[in-house]
Chain A
Amino acid sequence: MTSTPASTHASMPSGQRSPNASPPVSPPAIELRGISRAFGPVQANREIDLSVMPGTIHGIIGENGAGKSTLVSILYGFYQADEGEILIDGRRVDIHDSQAAIAAGIGMVFQHFKLVENFTVLENIILGSEKGALLRPVLAKARRELMDIEREYELEAPPDAKIEDLSIGQRQRVEILKALYRQARVLILDEPTGVLTPAEADRLFAILRRLRSEGKTIILITHKLREIMEVTDTVSVMRQGRMLATVATAATDIEELAERMVGRKVSLQIDKPCACLGDTLLEVENLHIETGTETPASPLAGIDFSLRAGEILGIAGVAGNGQSELLEVLAGYRRAKGSVRIKGCEVALSGSGIDAGSRRAAGLAHIPEDRQGVGLVMGFSVEENAILGYHRSFGYGTGALMDRSAIRSEAKRHITQFDIRPPDPGRAARDFSGGNQQKIVVAREIGAEPDILLIGQPTRGVDIGAIEFIHRRIIALRDAGKAILLVSVELEEILSLADRIMVMFGGRIMGERPAKETDERELGLLMAGVV
C-alpha cells in the first residue's frame, strides 16, 4: 500500500458533512473522531472522522484495501484504534472487545457468516447472550422473543432448522436476527451482497429499509456503487485509509462516486485493435456438474460456448454463479460431465484421466482467481513458483531431475519482463505485495506461451499501476492470436477488455453480447437473471 496523496483529495476535505443533511437534533448514532490504525508499516486508517445519524442507512464505499474492513473491525472491537475516539449517541465509549461492542448496541453481519453450522437457528441466536445457565428455559424464552422480533421486523427464520440446511440468504437473515436479539441499535453489514443472488439482495434491501423505519441505524459497507445508490441515505468514500467525503446519496451519482473511489476519472477503456479471429480453439458443450445430496443446486447446469483464437471472451456475473467452477473444470482440477474440446480434441472430464498437467500440455494455461491459495505456494521462492504446474516440462530438467540453472534463468526472465519488484528470485512469494504476487502468476502463465489462457479475477486486490500493466499484457496476448477466457466480477474490466461478453447466472449462460453493443445496464439485468 502506498501513501501517495490522491489527486482529488484536496477538493474534498475529510469528514465534510453532507450539505443536504438536516441540522442534528439528536446526537449521531455513531461518531468517529480521528481514528487511526497501523499494521506495522501499513497505515490502514488515517484520522477517520465519520458521523452517522440515527435512523439512516449510511454507505461506506471504497476499493479493496481502502481500509473499510479495518474501520468496522475497530467499531466491533476486533482491533483497537491507535488514536481517536468513538462516540455512540453522543457518549464516548471504549470498545475493547466484541462484548463491549454488543453492549454498546452495535451488531455486525460479517461477509463470511459467523454461524455454527450444525446448531439450530435458535441456538445460534442465543449463543453468547443466553439469559441463564440452563438451556431449556433459555431456549423457550428466546423462542418467544424471537417471534416478537420476527413479527416486528417482518423477518423470518425457522427456529429449529440447522444452519447447514439453510440457503445463503436465510443464513444472512439469521445473522441479522442475532444482532436484533442482542438489541443492536446500529447494524453494520460488510459486503452483504457479495454472495447473494440479485433477488436475495433485493430482499435484503427491503429488510434494511424496514429496519430503518423502525429506527435502527445501518452502516452498509460495499464496493458496489449500484447498491449504494439504491438503498443508502448518505454515503462516505474511503480511499487509501482516509475518509474522503460524506455526501447525501440523492445529491450524487454513480460516476461521481466512482471517480472519488478510485481517485481519478474512471477510464479503463483501453484502445485495442479489432479482433482478428482465427480457428476455434476451445469448444464447450452441455457442461454440467452433477448434483449430490449435499449440493442440491448445481454450480454448473449446462454450459455451451466456443472460443476462437484472437479474441477475449468475458464472463460476467455476480460471484458464486458458477464462474469459479467453470474455470476449475476447464483447467482440469474439478470433475464434470459434458464435453470439452481443446483444438478439436476431446478431453477427459471425469475419472482418473483428469489432471491439470495434461491440460497444460494441450496448450491451456490458467491464472486462477485465488492466487495466494491456488496460484502460488506462498512459502516457495519466485524461482520455485516460476515452474509451478510446468515442473514436469522438458525445459526444466531431464528425466526425474530438475535443472536448477534453467529454472533460475526462467525466473529472472519473468522478473525483468514483468517488472516484478523487488527483483529477487530467491525471495518467498509471501514477501511480495499483492500486485507483484499476481505478476509472478501472470508471468508464469503467459510465459508458458499457451494457445488458450483462462483468467480469473486478474486484478482483484491489485494496485492501479499493476492493473494497467496486466490489462495491456492480456490485450497483447490476444493480438498475438491467442484465445482468452476472462472471468471477472468487475463489469468495467470485462467491458473494457472483452470482445464478446457472456453473463452467467445460477450455473447457466443467461446471454451473450458483443462488447461494443452492450452496456452495464443491459449486463446488469442479465446478471440479475432477467432475460
Chain B
Amino acid sequence: MSNSAVSTKNSALPPKTSAYLDWLQMLSGAALIIFMWTHLCLVSSVIISPAVMDAIAWFFEATGLVYVFGPGIFLIFLLHFVLAARKIPWVTRQQTAMWDNAKRMQHQDTWLWIVQAGTAMVILIMGAAHIWVVLTDLPITAAKSAARIQGGAWLVYYLVLLPLVELHVGIGFYRIAVKWGFLSRARRKGFHAKENMLTIIMISIGVVTLARFMFLTIH
C-alpha cells in the first residue's frame, strides 16, 4: 500500500462494479466447473458403449439443446477468462513480483494460483479450438470423435488439454470454496485432499475415454 494509494472510497469505478464482477467471476467459474464435470460424464459414456454416447448426443441434438448450450458455454468460457484475467498480472514488474514471491515462499496455494493462471492461457486457445471443431461439425457422434482421435494429432492434443482443464477446474473449485467462506479452517486440508483425488479420478476417466475412442472400430 503506497502513500499515494490510500483511498478505496474514491475509486474511479461505480461503487458496486467490483462486487458485480466478482459475483460474475465466481458464477461463471462455477457454471464451467459443473459443465466440465457433466461434459466428461457424458463423453465417457462411450466407455460403456458408443450407442449410449450416440443416444445422449442425439437427445441434445433433437431437443436443440446443443445449439443453446454450445454457443452459451463458449460465451461463458470467454466471459470467465476476461473476468478472471483482471486478477492476472500482465505487467512484467507484477509478474516478477508474483513469481519471486512463490519461489521464496514455497507455499502450495500460491503455486496453485500460478498453475491456475498458467493453465488458463493454454485452455483459452486449446479449448476454443476444440469447441470450434466440435460445433462446426454437428451432430456429435462417437464415430466422428473416434475418427478425430485415431488421426493421432488430436489424441496428443487432448492428452495435453485434459489434465490442464481438470487441474484448472479442480483448483478453481477449491478456491471458490475458500474465497467465499464455505470452508472452515479445520476442513480446508481434508477438502483439498478430496479435491485432488477428484481431479485424479477425472483425469483417469478422461484418459480411459480417449483410449476407448482410440481403439473403437469405426463402421
Are both chains from one complex?
Answer: no
Q: Which residues of A contact B (CB under 8 A)?
A: none
